[in-house]
């Protein structure tokens, strides 16, 4: 099989992994070396549903000794062609594409060939050739395989910009049922090790800078070791293959942000690619749910919302018709209207239609003049949404509309006419774009219908029965101290590495605005939130 045939198989096999944005690291080009990356994001292009495509996204191999029920590459799937790159082939391919300006970096994942350590050794060798032999300074995102030993994680982290370990499924029981070779501990142990290594690396670099004397600064600079995963770590969860609620998923995400300092938690709407009695036998892809989860995630990371403000146990799924911020606003009408000419940043960030950038622009612009509709539109504020929740120098923007939950809900849930909204929605295609197909050829994604939802419920019922029989009722993945101990994920690996693993605001106050200070734990007693 030649390299292009391998690429066709392995790029296609990698398209189900969505955790691939590359923002987070700034590195300029250097004489005699190749590539550069920008913190603002070397991914300039996204699929219609927001997935990044400018990295060469491939598996090292689609051979896998594991048998995860939801995965097209699982061992028992005899319908896929299996292949693997050699480290040299993968490095040559990446450099070839980079030189032709097809890609700006590499997203490397892999099936488990033999054991996690053997697979990681092959990945490390490919990245070493790229970094050391070719002097490649572009962006690299590598997937760490649960159960990999700490030395290999260290090597991978020194060669990559971002590492990620997929959480795969949002609960321990679902994991045990659908991905029996993976466990809570084998996933959380590398996550915790990566977290600790990033923190140590940052600390030692800061200490070095601080202690720099005049004599040291005059000395010939020694070649510094590469930073450990300077763009941090991320993870991914499959949404909709198992019955966990949005409440469960968002609490788990908040806990991961808090305890592991993850850069991102990616949500991947379950895509039915294999048949299994324990999986939903439906072709509905819950893209809207995935989209709402991303919006909620954005609120937690950039807008100062905590999980309890977004979702509660009595309403465990996000509202499908309106985004979570609009939903919060509709439930807190007493907080509005907000006066755009005097409100603090925290209050502006609560207004539907005003984003982080818009709120900061408002703060700056109002120093020069009093803001009205025209000025807000010029600043790029989504005035059609924001107007129901603001006053401009005392004048209410939503005149003519009843200031009630129902009336405003109807307005906010209605499709937005005009402007650039929805211009990509009509072209939505399944999964990500590939190097080999035109997007026009791809079928339009099916929407969840009543029969699809019924099929989902049937599958979930089967899962619940199996879970109850095996483990008792579904609980979350506890992110506790015990995560530092990884059990052997692949018995065939050498035990020495396994043993290593085992060591291993005024207006806000006025209006009674909820405190928005980071990701607070909503229910410390919840098993998801046991912080180690
Ligand atoms: S480990 Fe599981 S999810 Fe990963 S490639 Fe193998 S079967 Fe697929």
The domain locations on the chain are: 3-214+227-310, 324-416
Q: Are 237 and 175 in contact (CB under 8 A)?
A: no
According to the model, what pLDDT value does residue 366 have? Answer: 94
Q: Whose CA is nearest to atom 4 of ligand 1?
A: 111
According to the model, what pLDDT value does residue 45 have? Answer: 41
Helix (H) or strand (E) holding 163, with range, is: strand 162-164
According to the model, what pLDDT value does residue 130 have? Answer: 95
Whether residue 71 has pLDDT greater than 80: yes
Token duo for residue 196: 């600790």
According to the model, what pLDDT value does residue 484 have? Answer: 36
Residue-wise pLDDT for 317-334, tens only, equals 999 999 999 999 999 999
Pocket test for ligand 1, best of 13, 14, 69, 71 (most atoms within 8 A of CB): 71
- Calculate how far, in angstroms, residue 167's C-alpha sits from the geometric centre of ligand 1: 12
Pocket test for ligand 1, best of 13, 14, 66, 236 (most atoms within 8 A of CB): 66
Whether residue 517 has pLDDT greater than 50: no
- Calculate how far, in angstroms, residue 226's C-alpha sits from the geometric centre of ligand 1: 29
Least confident of 135-149, 238-252, 413-427: 413-427
Residue-wise pLDDT for 464-499, tens only, equals 666 566 555 444 455 544 333 333 334 445 444 444
Residue 524 burial by CB count (10 A; 0-12/13-18/19+): exposed, middle or buried?
exposed
Place of tokens 């391998």: 6
Q: Between 70 and 521, where is the model more confident?
A: 70
Counting from 1 in the atom list of ligand 1, the atom nearest the Cα of 145 is: 1
Phi and psi angles of residue 236, each rounded to the nearest 5 degrees, phi first:
-140, 145
DSSP for 447-493, written as a single string? PP-HHHHHHHHHHHHHHHHHHHHHTSS--B---SGGGG-PPPS-TTS
The per-residue b/e assignment along 188-217, b for 16 or more CB within 10 angstroms, e otherwise, is bbbbbbbbebbeebeeeeeeeeeeeeeeee
Residue 30 burial by CB count (10 A; 0-12/13-18/19+): exposed, middle or buried?
exposed
Least confident of 218-232, 335-349, 443-457: 443-457
According to the model, what pLDDT value does residue 375 have? Answer: 94
* Average confidence score pLDDT of the chain: 76
Residue-wise pLDDT for 82-133, tens only, equals 999 999 999 999 999 888 877 878 889 999 998 999 999 999 999 999 999 9
How many percent of the chain have pLDDT more than 70? 67
Q: Whose CA is nearest to atom 5 of ligand 1?
A: 111
Confidence of residue 156 (pLDDT cuts 50, 70, 90): very high
According to the model, what pLDDT value does residue 516 have? Answer: 33
Counting from 1 in the atom list of ligand 1, the atom nearest the Cα of 62 is: 5
Average pLDDT in the 262-272 region?
Answer: 86
According to the model, what pLDDT value does residue 317 have? Answer: 92
Entry pTM = 0.75
Of 109, 139, 53, the C-alpha closest to 437 is: 53
- CATH, range 3-214+227-310: 3.20.20.70
User: In angstroms, rounded to a whole number, what is the distance separating the alpha carbons of residues 278 and 393?
Assistant: 58
């Amino acid at each position: 099989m030649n390299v292009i045939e391998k690429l066709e198989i392995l790029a296609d096999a990698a398209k189900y992994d969505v955790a691939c944005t590359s923002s987070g690291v700034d590195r300029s080009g250097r004489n005699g070396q190749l590539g550069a990356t920008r913190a603002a994001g070397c991914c300039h292009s996204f699929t219609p549903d927001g997935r990044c495509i400018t990295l060469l996204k491939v598996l090292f191999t689609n051979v896998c000794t594991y048998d995860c029920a939801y995965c097209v590459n699982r061992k028992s799937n005899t319908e896929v062609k299996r292949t693997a790159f050699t480290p040299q082939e993968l490095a040559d391919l990446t450099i070839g594409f980079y030189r032709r300006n097809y890609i700006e970096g590499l997203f490397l994942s892999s099936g488990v060939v033999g054991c996690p350590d053997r697979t990681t050794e092959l990945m490390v060798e490919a990245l070493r050739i790229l970094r050391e032999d070719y002097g490649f300074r572009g962006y690299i995102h590598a997937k760490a395989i649960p159960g990999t030993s700490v030395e290999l994680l260290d090597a991978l982290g020194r060669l990559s910009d971002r590492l990620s370990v997929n959480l795969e499924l949002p609960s321990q029981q679902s994991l045990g049922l659908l991905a029996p070779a993976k466990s809570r501990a084998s996933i959380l142990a590398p996550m915790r090790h990566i977290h600790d290594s990033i923190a140590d690396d940052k600390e030692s670099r800061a200490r070095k800078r601080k202690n720099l004397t005049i004599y040291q600064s005059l000395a010939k600079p020694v070649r510094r070791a590469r930073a450990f995963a300077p763009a941090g770590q991320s993870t991914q969860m499959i949404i909709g293959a198992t019955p966990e609620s949005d409440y469960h998923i968002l609490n788990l995400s908040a806990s991961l942000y808090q305890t592991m300092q993850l850069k991102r938690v990616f949500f991947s709407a379950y895509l039915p690619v294999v048949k299994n009695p324990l999986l939903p036998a439906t072709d509905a892809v819950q893209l809207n749910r995935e989209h709402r989860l991303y919006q909620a995630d954005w609120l937690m990371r950039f807008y100062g919302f905590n999980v309890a403000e977004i979702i509660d146990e009595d309403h465990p799924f996000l509202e499908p018709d309106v985004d979570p911020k609009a939903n919060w606003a509709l439930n807190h009408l007493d907080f509005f209207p907000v006066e755009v000419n005097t409100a603090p940043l925290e209050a502006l960030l609560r207004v539907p239609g005003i984003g982080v950038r818009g709120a900061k622009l408002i703060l700056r612009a109002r120093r020069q003049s009093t803001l009205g509709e025209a000025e807000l539109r010029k600043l790029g504020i989504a005035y059609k949404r924001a107007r129901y929740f603001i006053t401009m120098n005392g004048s209410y923007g939503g005149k003519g509309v009843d200031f009630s939950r129902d009336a405003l809900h109807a307005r906010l849930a209605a499709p937005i006419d005009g402007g650039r909204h929805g211009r990509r929605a009509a072209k939505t295609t399944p999964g990500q774009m590939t190097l080999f197909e035109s997007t026009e050829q791809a079928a339009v994604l099916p929407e969840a219908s009543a029969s699809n939802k019924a099929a989902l419920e049937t599958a979930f019922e089967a899962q619940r029965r199996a879970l109850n029989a095996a483990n008792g009722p579904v609980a979350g993945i506890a992110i506790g101290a015990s995560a530092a101990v990884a059990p052997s994920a692949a018995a065939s690996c050498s035990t020495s590495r396994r043993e290593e693993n085992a060591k291993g605001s005024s207006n806000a106050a006025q209006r009674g605005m909820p405190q928005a200070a980071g990701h607070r734990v909503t229910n410390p007693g919840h098993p998801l939130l046991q912080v180690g």
